[in-house]
Structure 1
Amino acid sequence: MPDWVCLCVIILLLLSLLTIAGFIVYSGLLSEINIQTGSPPIKNVTFAYKLKEEPYRNCGQLFKECRSVGPKLSCIGVFYDDPKKVLGQRCRCAVGSILGEGESKPSEELLKRYEKSGFNVFSFPEVTHVVTASFPHRTLLSILLGVRRVYPRLNHYIKERRLCAHPFLEIYRGGQIHYMAPLARQGDFYVPEVRQVERRLPAGEESHSDTELSGSTDSNSEYSSGSGILLSDSRETSRAPSSVHSVLSPDEGGGDYGERSSTASASKQLDWELNGGQQGTGEEQNHGASDQKSLDTASQEWGVAVGGEE
C-alpha cells in the first residue's frame, strides 16, 4: 500500500475520533451539574401519560409515542422505583406529555387526541420546594449521559442532607432535561394506578422497594414512614419513601438516601433532654406518649429544615 494511502487512512481515523469526541462533549459530557433545593422547574401541570412496569431503559418507546401524538409538547417522565432495589421488570414509570401548565388549560381537542391514543390524564400540583438539577438535551446521547452523571449527584445531595425527596421527575423542554424530586406533597405525584396498588398491600407488608430510602421525613408529606401503606384515599396522602429513583448510575453511588436511625437517635436525644436526663417514671411516663408525638414531629421537621438551608 502506498505511503500516501496509509497517511489518508490515518487522517480519516483521527478525524473520525475527533468527530466522535466532539459529539460526546456536545451531548453534555463536560457540562456543569448544579444540584440545589429551591423552586420547581414546572408549575401545576396537567399531563397525559401511560404507566409501564418494565426496565427503565425501555421507556424510550413511550417518549416516542408521546412525541408522535403531540410533537410540540414538552415530555415528562415520573420514576417511582429504585432499580438498585427493585427488579427491572417491576420498575414503574409514568411517561407522557404536558398538556397544560399554570393557568393554561388543555383544549378538549387535545385531551381527546391523547385519550384516543390510550393515554390517561392526571394533574400534579405546584410545590414550593424540590431538589432539582438540569442537563443539556442536545442529542439522544444526552439522555444517557444525564442518567450517568446527574442521578449519582442527586442521590449524594439528598443522602447528605437527609432529605425525603420522591418520586423523581424528568421534564424535557427548551433543550434541557430538568430533574426534580418534590420535598412536600409527594403523594400528589403518584398517579392513581400506583396509589391503588399501594392500598391493596396488607398491613405490615412492604412494597417493591426498600422503605429506608430517606433519613428524615418531610413534615408536609402525609404517609406512614414505616409501613409503605397509604393512610387514606385522599390525594394528599403518600406512600412510604420506598419508591423513588429513576435510573441510577452504578458507578458514582446509589442505594439508600440515608439511615432512619439518625432521625430516631435525634428524637431519643431530645426526649432525654426534655426529661432532664432521666428516663421518667410514674406520672412522667404517662405524659410521655403525647410528648413523644410532638417530639417526633419536631425531629421530622428538623430533618427537612436542614436541606432548606442550602
Structure 2
Amino acid sequence: MSDLQFARHRRLRQSANMRAMVRETNITVNDLIYPIFAVEGENIKNEISSMPGAYHWSLDRLHEVMDEVVSLGIKSVILFGVPAHKDATGSEAYHDHGIVQEAIRLIKKNYPDIIVIADTCLCEYTDHGHCGVVEGGKILNDPSLDLLAKTAVSQAKAGADIIAPSNMMDGFVAAIRKGLDEAGYEDVPIMSYAVKYASAFYGPFREAADSAPAFGDRKTYQMDPANRLEALREAQSDVEEGADFLIVKPTLSYLDIVRDVRNEFRLPVVGYNVSGEYSMVKGAALNGWIDEKAVVLEMITSMKRAGCDLIITYFALDIARWLAE
C-alpha cells in the first residue's frame, strides 16, 4: 500500500476544531430575519395550530417576543398583519392606523435599532384572499399596483425600514419605488419577493395570516414550480425596476434557483424558509423522528451555501439560541 498515491481529504476532518477551521459556510445571528404575526385585540398570544412555536401577537403583548428577539441578538423582523376587518380592496392594508402600521410604530419607538421589514401585500386584508383587485373572478394587475403603492407609503410613513412587496403583480417594484420616491421615502429600500412560486409549502401560513383564496388559486401571478429560466426573468425585471434585495420563496426546494439568482445578480439574496418547511420539521421533531437542532441547522446551512445572504425563518429564535450555546 505504501506506493499508492491518493488525496487524504480526511486530514482536515480529524477534530471538531479542525472542521470548524476549514468550514466554508457559517450561520450567524446576523443572517436571520424573524417573522411576526400582529393581530388586533388585547392580551393575545395564541399559538398557530399548524405552526407549533409560532404565535399571533396583539400589540399589548408584542413586547414579549420583541424582548426575546433583542436579547438573542437578532437584528431584523418582518411583520405580517391580521386585521379585524376585511373588504374587497384590502383597505386595512393601507390604512394609516392599520395593524401593521401600528406594530411598526410600536417597535420603532421601543426598539429603535431593530430593522423592521413590512410585508406589502393585500391578501391578508381582502375578503377574497387574493393579492390584488378582483373583478369578474379575475385578478387585475394594474389597478392593484395603485393600492400596493399606497400600502408601501403608509408603511414607510409609520417607520418601516424596508418594504417587502410579496404580491407578484407585474410592475409592482416600479410602482412602489415611484410611490415611495414621490412621498419623500427615496431612502427606503425594497426587498422584493422577486422569485415567488405558487407553492404547496405555503399552507400553514394561510392559516396564520387568514389569507387562503376564497376562490381559485394564485397560479396566474405566482410562478410555476417547474420553471427555472422564468425566475431569472422575474428577478431581472425587479432589478431594473429598482429592487434592493431579491427574495427567493420558498427556499428549501428551490436551492438551485437561489444559486442561479446569486450567480446572476449582485444584490443581496434573501431566502424565505416558509411555513410548510417549518411545520414539516416541527411535526417530525415533536414525534421524535428527527433531531430538530441538527436538521434545522443543516437546512439553514444549505440555504446559505446555495447563496442566501439573509434568511427569513420561523426558526430564527431557536437558531439564535443554538448559536449562543
TM over 0.5: no
> TM-score under structure 2 normalisation?
0.24
Q: TM-score, normalised by structure 1?
A: 0.25
Structure label with greater radius of gyration: 1
- Between 1 and 2, higher relative CO (CA 8 Å, sep ≥ 6) is seen in 1
